[in-house]
Structure formats: structure tokens, C-alpha cells
Structure 1
Amino acid sequence: MAGFLKIVDQHGRRIPMRAASYQGHFEGATFGRRFGNWGLSSAGPDASMFNSLGTLRARSRELVRNEPLITGGLDTLVAYIVGSGINPRWELEDAEIKRSLQQLWADWTMEADHDGVADFYGLQSLATRCMVESGEVLIRFIPQKPGTMPVPLKIQVLEPDHLDEAYNTQAPNGNEIRMGIEFSPEGRRVAYHMYREHPGESYLSSTPGEKIRVPASEVLHIYRPLRPGQKRGRPWLSSVIAIIRELNQYLDAEQVRKKAAAMFGGFITAPAGEVDNIPSVFGQDSTDTTDDMGAQIMALEPGTFPALPPGMDVKFSEPADVGNSYAPFVKHQERRIARGFGGLTYEKLSGDLSDSNYTSLRSGDKTFQRQCLQIINHVVVYQMCAPVLRYWLNTAVLSRAINLPGFRENRQKYYRVKWCHEGFPMTDPLKDGQAEDNAIKAGRKSRSESVAERGRDVEAVDSEIASDQDRADGLGLKFDTDVRNASK
């Protein structure tokens, strides 16, 4: 038959159409009424964001500005990832050089911000916040005049809008520019083509739309890579923007409905033609009790007992409740949002602890903390903290802010630091503290590891303890907290 398609196997035998449509396929790869053309895009990591990145950023920022649930969730994520700061602890045998480096670093962090609004740890929070909200963040190194600060270096945090994702061309030197980033023939980043001023504030700028080429060695591009080869970062809210929008519209509609229903106290009925002026029955002037459409309205004072004429009746408004499914539905949607928003738990996103207990809170906290540790170590430390420290050390040595023996021959020795996070709050400090003590006593954990998890340096802690003990001994004081008096 003309136009008839016959499908055969390797032996030339005809395969029935129904069998052919399923043979060799996963159910999730089939077509039909259940799937249709759903999920067929094979776009690469950059192509999938090329036309969407600007819109995703704008909508993500809109939710952060106007949706309290998202604002609070973003604050929680930043608090857990950065806390009060992720600080370096040098692993050097020379105690004097180590102390000098720690002090020089501490002095510099107070003056690190090019805009002068935060210290270095505040910039960590700002950069992380921008990364979550906008998907990525840029940091630019700005060398200073020697002698003007402890180490002549400032850093500037920039929003990703400075990097035009629609800028795709070939540079005069033959390098490819993709989404604002210039790559060498080997695929290495060599420069960033950035707007001199934020494109969203071009009306305030004297050079709107002007781009500058900044070497990649002077820029940090921080984002969470989710696909191999991904050049730009997408907002963390990307997968739940539609859900949040729909939920907000539902909540707004429900709130307006309840508000409108609450405005009607009741309704007065009377036989047609028997009462022309209902407000007068209640002792009110009819000229003051009509709305813009001429309908009679009135307000009663507490304790009013009017005598109604025969046939007149008052029916109070009894608006329908939202029903038993309202709260479960909203909670379910908020749980979906929490899972798609950086792995937050429902409790941390909503602040609702009404259905929580110690076991569920601890289980959720542990999972969330492990996800935060991934971001801390693989993104914030690797992409921001470590490169800043290396650039800072190079600048410190070149400017003679510090003398590090053998630095040029063995830089890795001085680059080798341990980045300490202040640690996560304990769900139950008593139980968690006892478990920590038992792990140290059993040899499963060292004091150094335990102290580092709280964001401290064990040498500094030991020095403080020794100082406290010496001072107490000199004054003839004894405390139960003195570890020398602890029972064995």
C-alpha cells in the first residue's frame, strides 16, 4: 500500500506498530498522550541559558524583593554558608611567620572592600547572596598604591549584569568570545568583556554601554556549575520560580476573597415597597448612607437594638471558610519550593516548627548542612577565598608588606591554609556536645578537628586556655571549668 511504513527486524520479519513503538525503549522515552513532545530539548549548558538568563535573574530578584518567604530563605542560606566569615589558618611550622601572616591578613580584611561598605567577610556574604539570587557573581582585583594600606589590594564585588550573555563574537586576536567571556584556542578563559557601568543604571552613567576587556587573572567568576562545560551560572530559584508565582497568585486571590467577604457584616431585607428608607429605621440619615452607585449602606454601633417593622429581616454574612485543604496545600507547595531553593528544609524556609520534633529537625539539619559544606568547599572557598588569598600573598610580598623566606621558590608552602567555617548551630547542644566529647575520648576525632569545625584555630584556643589558667593561678582562683581539675 502506497505510503504505508513497514518496520522489520534484523531478519526482515515485520514488527507490529504497537510493539515497535515500545521495543527497546524506557517508558520515560515513549511518546503519546502521556508525554507528547515533553522534555525533548538537547540544548547544551550554554545554549539552554542563552535566551533565559536575563529573565531568570530579573524574576529571581523580583521574588527576593517582594516575597518574604524567599527573602528569609536567602538570608538563611547565606547565614549557613558564610556565617560570620570563612577565615584562613596557615599551616606553617614557623610560629612567628604564622602569627605575622595572620595579623597582616586580619588588618587587611578591614580595608579590603573597594566600595568601603564591608570587611572581607562581609564581602563573602555579599558575594554568596548575589550568587544565590543572580546565579553568579564577579569579583575584580584592584591594586592600590603601596603604603596606603596593610597590603595594597582592594577587591570589588560586581553583579553578573556587567557580563553580557548576549555578547558572542570573535575577538581581534582570533579568540572566541562566548557569553561575554573570551577563550583561548585551548578553551582557557583569558579575559572578561565587561560593561564599565551596571547596564541597569546606564541613565546615571556618562559612558553607558561601554565595554572594557579585563584579563581573567584580575577577575573571579563565582557560580555553582551544574553541567560540564557550563560557562555561566543560573539563579538558584530557577526551578521553582513558576511554582512560587502560582502560589503567590493563589494566596493573593484567597486573601482578597476573605477581605471582601469580611467587609459585609450582613444584609437587610424588606418586602418590596413597604420600606423606602431602611437607614431611617435604624435612626440614620439616608443621605449619608449610600455608596458611589447609590446603594444604601449603613454601620451599626455596639448595643443597637432597633425595632424592625413587620416583614423586615436582618441576615448576617457567613462567608465560606477556606476549607481543610488550604493549609496542607500551602505547606506542600512550600516544601517543593524549599527543596528547589538550595536544599533548604521546610522549617528553615518557612520558620514553621509546629509539626517538628527533635528527630525530624536533626535529620533535616544534617542533610542541609552537608549540602552547605559542598557549597562552602567547592564554590566559596575554591572559587573565591583561595584565589583571593593567593593574589593577596603575591601582592604582600611584591609590596614588601611581609618577608616570606623562600616564597618565590615554594609558593605552595604559603598558599597551604585551612579555611575554617564557624560551624553550624547544634540542634540540641547538650546531646551534641556529649557526642562530640565521646568521639574525642574514643579517638574517632581530634581536638583540632573539633575546634576547626567551630571556626577556631586550636593553637589560639590552647593559648587562650593557658593564659586563663596562668591568670587564675596567679590570683589563687579555682574554677570547675579548669580542665586540670576534670575527673578522669
Structure 2
Amino acid sequence: MLKWLRQLGAKKASASDTSRGRAVFVRGKYDSAQTTLENRRHWINADHLSANSAISADVRRTLRSRTRYEVANNSYAKGIVLTLANYVVGTGPRLQMLTDDPAVNRVIEKEFTRWAKAVGLAHKLRTMRIGQCESGECFGLLATNPRVSAPVQLDVRLIEADQVATPWPVARRDANVVDGIILDEFGNPVAYSILRRHPGDSSALRMSGAEFDMLPADSVIHLFRAERPGQNRGVPEVTSSLSLFATLRRYTLAVLASAEQAALPSGVIYTDAPADAEAAGVEPMDSVEMDRGTWLTMPFGWKIGQLKAEQPTTVYGDFKHEVINEIARCLNMPFNIAAGNSSGYNYASGRLDHQAFFKAIRIDQAYLGDMVLDRVFKAWIDEAVLIEGYLPQVVRTLDVDLPHQWFWDGFEHVDPAKEANAQATRLASKTTTLAAEYAKAGLDWESELRQRAREEALMRELGLSESASTSQPESSDEIVEEDEEELEEAVT
């Protein structure tokens, strides 16, 4: 009764406050912000840690070791990581200089390609991309290597994330030190502490991890993906799907074990006779080994019931399909590439699924160009200009501007004839350029045109002519109609 009177008084007071013109606050709330008995266990691990605190050294060490273990023992994980690196890096980037002097451009492109082949730059880029996916980050040290068979003896020495750490004798309470990375007041890396031995190396245990080198930031390339503001170290890109890899393997092994057990001549001996009936005595819970393909004789009054082989079930393939699809989603990879199986795809659905993946690949390639290749090229130029007569004199000035871009392998079209027709239509309507079309294939348009001119000159010299019986390209209306039919089929 008293509670009801207090509520009534509160309502009258609020009404009087409104009539007097006082502010009235409406308090709303989000369902997802409520903690109930049903969702308490689901959100129990949610925290308010900062980006660097959430991925502490211990957390990253655990994630790295588990991811490496899964990639080493799971064929799907291994294939996904290798496929991603092959798509992003391919056969390696190609440099195109964009200065106003074609002769200078050709000299720099030729010598840089020669050096890149000598140090295995493409292979190291693939290793870095694998390390970024598997360990979350990878480091490259720009250093001199006298064994490089090129005039510029610069090399990129790769090290794992485990070697970039603050050694235990050094105080770790400095706010500007993030596990081996020394930052300035603006958050820019200024130096890295590099352990001389990998912490997992047996020789590193004897040295107690005390020996390290402090390298300036200009000599260290740090490849990782920052997903939160203020994040300075990386975590494996498959972290969110790591447990799914384990689930997939456990389910496969469980189905196999169940099928093998049911396939053996195993069963249960039982009798329908009453307890006081005449039947041979059998020791309860006794086990008898049987050979495959043999006939059995049962004790008097007893029968054998064989276990039914119910594995693998009909949903086994569907379960694997969904799990692999969920695993690949964190990498923007379509199912058919992750699973290596395109049996359920048609032409249009394949194009739709690959659009997001190819866009992610182009973003990765641009990031590699900005964070790795541009720095490597600058370090190479700084070393090359010191060699007398190696590069043109105009390049050796201090204020020289060397605009350039990187070409990567293009994506093969599933229907080359249709793509060629579309390309011819774009060129005829002047909605594209030769540079743009060659760039899609990862080629330098100037080099290709020069090669084309040499081929035509040689054909004229030998008295050869191009075949005049080339097929005419399809009309744009036919291409549009076919695309609409395929898209409709994919959606259906």
C-alpha cells in the first residue's frame, strides 16, 4: 500500500514539473547492453582493454603458436594461407618508372629487376604475406649482404615476430615501449629491439635472451594490419576462425572413428530367453576378438546383434562446407578457393563471389607497395647512387623526384573470349586506355607496345602477315544479354 502511494506521489510530482516548464529526461537503453542470465556467459570475456593491452606479448605468443600448429597439421589451413600469399604476391611485383626520361626509366627498371631477382624479393614477399596471416606480422631488416650477386648489395633479411621483443633485463614500464618497439611522443616507431636469437632456438636459452640489437626504424620493415587505433603489433589474421579449424579436424576424426568402429565385425551378444530358461552360461561384460570375414557360432540360446554403420552421415559434406565457408570469410576468400572445389558453382556465381576477394587482393597489394616495396626501392636507390657510373647522372642529385608504380600479376578471366570482347568495346568507345588494360594484366604498356612493334617489324621482314580471318567480336547488346542471363541464374 505504501509503495503504491509513493508511486502515485511521484507521478503527480513529475506532472507538476512538466507544467512548470522543467526539463524532462527520457532514459532509453539498448537490449545488447543489458546483462541477463541468458547472455551472461556469452559476454563474460568482454573487456575494456586498449588495443596493445588486449594483444599483450603472452596473448600473441599463444595465438602464434596455435596458428602455426594448426597450419602445419590442417591441410585446409595450409592451403588457405598458401593460396592467399600466391594470389597477393604471385610471381612478384614489377617496377615501372614514371619520369620524363625514357632512357632513365629503362635503366632503373632493368637494374632493380636484376637486384630483386638476386635477393629473391618475390619469394621473400610471399613469406612475409604468409607470416602476416599465420603470425599476425613479419619483420624485414634492410642490411648489407656481401653475397648478393648484384652491384647493390642490399638485402632484406626476414625475422619472425618472436625476435622483436623487449629483453627481460630491460625495464618494460616505459609507456613508449610496446614489446620491442620504441615510440616517440607522437606514436611513431623510432627504434626496434631485435633479439639476436629466436626465443625458441635452443642456443637462445643458454644466452638467457639478454643479447639484442637496437636498430633504427629506417632499417626495419614491419608488416602487419592494425585493426584498432593505437595498435602497434599484429595478431594472426585467422584468429577469429582458429577454433573452427580445430572443430573441423575433430569432427572429421570422430566421423572416421565411428565409421571404422561400425565397419568392424563388432556387436552385442544377447538372448530372448527368460532368466530361468535353458541357455548356455555366458560371462557378462566379456569381450571376444573376432577376425574379419569369419563365421561365428553362438552359445545355445544366444544371438548377436551387429552395430549399424551410420557414419558418415548425409550431412557430413554440408557441415564441412559451412565450416570452411565460415573460416574463409575472415580473409574475404570465397568457398571454392578455400576448399579447392568449384563443383557447385556456375560462371556467374563464381564472378560474384570473386569480386570481393579480388578487391581485397588489390588492397593488400597496394598496402605491400606502400609499406614494403617503396621503402625497399628507396633503400636501393640510396645505395645505387653511391656507385660511380651505375645509374644516370641525373638520378644522383639530392632533390631528384622518382615517381613510380608497381605492377602485379593480373587475374585470369574465366571466359577469355568474353573478356576480350568487352576489352575491345571499352577501347573502341574510348572509356579506357591501353595503360589501364595492360595494368589489369600486370603488364607495362610501354614494354608491351615496344615488343609488339618489334614483332610486326620482324613479320614484315619475313613476309608474314596477320591472319585476316579473325572472328568479329560480339556486339555489346549480346554481351549485356548474356551477362544478365548469367546474373539471373546465379541469383536463382
Shift of 1:430: 2.2
Give how far 1:103 is off: 1.4
Q: What is the aligned partner in structure 1 of residue 200 from structure 2?
A: 200
Structure 1 residue corresponding to 2:338, chosen from 326, 335, 349: 349
- Indicate the residue corresponding to 1:215 in structure 2: 216
Q: Which consecutive residues of structure 1, in runs of 5 or more, have no partner in the other structure?
A: 15-21, 113-118, 278-292
Q: Equivalent residues in 2 for 1:105-116 (5 A)?
A: 105-112=112-119
Q: Distance in 1 between matches of 2:216 and 2:94?
A: 27
Distance 2:163 2:99 in 1: 39
Q: Does 1:59 align with 2:47?
A: no
* Residue 373 (structure 2) aligned to one of 377, 380, 385: 385
Amino acid paired to 2:217: A
Distance 2:10 2:428 in 1: 68
Question: Which deviations, in whole Å up to 9, do the C-alpha atoms of 1:309-336 show, x marking residues without a partner?
Answer: 9867665553224433333222222211
Q: State the match for 1:338 in structure 2.
A: 328
Alpha carbons of structure 1 residues 168 and 451: separation in structure 2 relative to 1, 3 Å: farther
Deviation at 1:407, TM superposition (A): 4.1
What does residue 149 of structure 1 align with?
150
State the aligned residue count. Answer: 447
Cα distance between partner residues in 2 of 1:46 and 1:165: 14
Partner of 2:480: none
Residues 76-85 or 39-48, more deviating? 39-48
Once residues 41 and 295 of structure 1 are traced to their aligned partners in structure 2, the CA distance between those partners, rounded to angstroms, is: 53
Structure 1 counterpart of 2:417, which letter? L
Residue segments in structure 2 that go unaligned for 5+ positions in a row: 16-25, 475-492
> Does residue 459 of structure 2 align to residue 472 of structure 1?
yes
Whether the 8 Å contact between 2:410 and 2:441 is mirrored in structure 1 is yes
Q: Which of 70, 91, 95 does residue 77 from structure 2 map onto?
A: 70
Q: How does 1:101-250 map to 2 (within 5 A)?
A: 101-112=108-119, 119-144=120-145, 149-164=150-165, 176-203=176-203, 207=207, 209=209, 210-250=211-251
Residues 1:35 and 2:39 are matched in the alignment: yes
Amino acid at match of 1:186: F
1:467 deviates by 1.1
Query: CA separation of 1:421/1:146 partners in 2, compared to 1, >3 Å: closer, same or farther?
Result: closer
Q: Structure 2-normalised TM-score?
A: 0.81
Q: Distance in 2 between matches of 1:186 and 1:228?
A: 13
SS of the residue 1:426 aligns to: coil
Secondary structure of 1:140's match? strand
Which residue of the partner structure matches residue 17 of structure 1? none
Q: Is the 8 A contact 1:141 1:218 kept in 2?
A: yes
The residue that corresponds to 2:430 in the other structure is 443
**Distance in 1 between the 2:10 and 2:184 partners?**
49
TM-score (norm 1): 0.81
Given residue 186 of structure 2, which amino acid in structure 1 is its aligned partner? Answer: E
Asked if 2 retains the 8 angstrom alpha-carbon contact of 1:123 and 1:157, the reply is yes
> Which residue, out of 450, 474, 477, partners 1:463?
450
Q: Measure, in 1, the Cα distance between the counterparts of 2:14 and 2:154.
A: 75
1:25 aligns with 2:12: no
RMSD (Å), alpha carbons: 3.7
Instruction: Check 1:310–1:478 CA distance in 2 against 1; reply closer, same or farther (3 A cut).
Output: farther
1:290 — aligned with what?
none
Shift of 1:194: 1.2
Distance 2:432 2:10 in 1: 62
- Distance in 1 (CA, whole Å) between partners of 2:468 and 2:98 is 29
SS of the equivalent of 1:124 reads helix
Shift of 1:268: 7.6
Q: Which amino acid aligns with 1:33?
A: L
Q: 2:47 & 2:300 partners in 1: Cα distance?
A: 73
Letter paired with 2:202: S
CA separation of 1:65/1:371 partners in 2, compared to 1, >3 Å: closer, same or farther? same
For residue 190 of structure 1, give the secondary structure of its aligned residue in structure 2.
strand
1:52 is paired with a residue of what secondary structure? helix
Bigger drift between 69-78 and 139-148 goes to 139-148
1:373 matches 2:362: yes
Q: Per the alignment, in what secondary structure is the counterpart of residue 222 of structure 1?
A: strand
Match of 1:227, SS state, is: coil
Q: Say whether the 8 Å CA contact 1:164–1:180 is kept in structure 2.
A: yes
Whether the 8 Å CA contact 1:469–1:482 is kept in 2: the answer is: no
Partner of 1:426: 413
Contact 1:152–1:399 (8 Å) recurs in 2: no
SS at match of 2:343: coil
After superposition, the C-alpha distances for 1:294-318 in whole angstroms (9 at most, x for unaligned) are 854443659x8x9999867665553
Tell me the equivalent position of 2:100: 93
Q: Distance in 2 between matches of 1:238 and 1:421?
A: 28
Return closer, same or farther for 1:52/1:435 CA change in 2, 3 Å cut-off: same
- Closer/same/farther in 2, CA of residues 145 and 466 from structure 1, 3 Å limit: same
Cα 1:84–1:315 change in 2 (3 A) is same
Q: In structure 2, do the counterparts of structure 1 residues 185 and 440 end up closer, same or farther at CA, with 3 Å as the change threshold?
A: same
TM-aligned CA distance change 1:432 to 1:450, over 3 Å: same
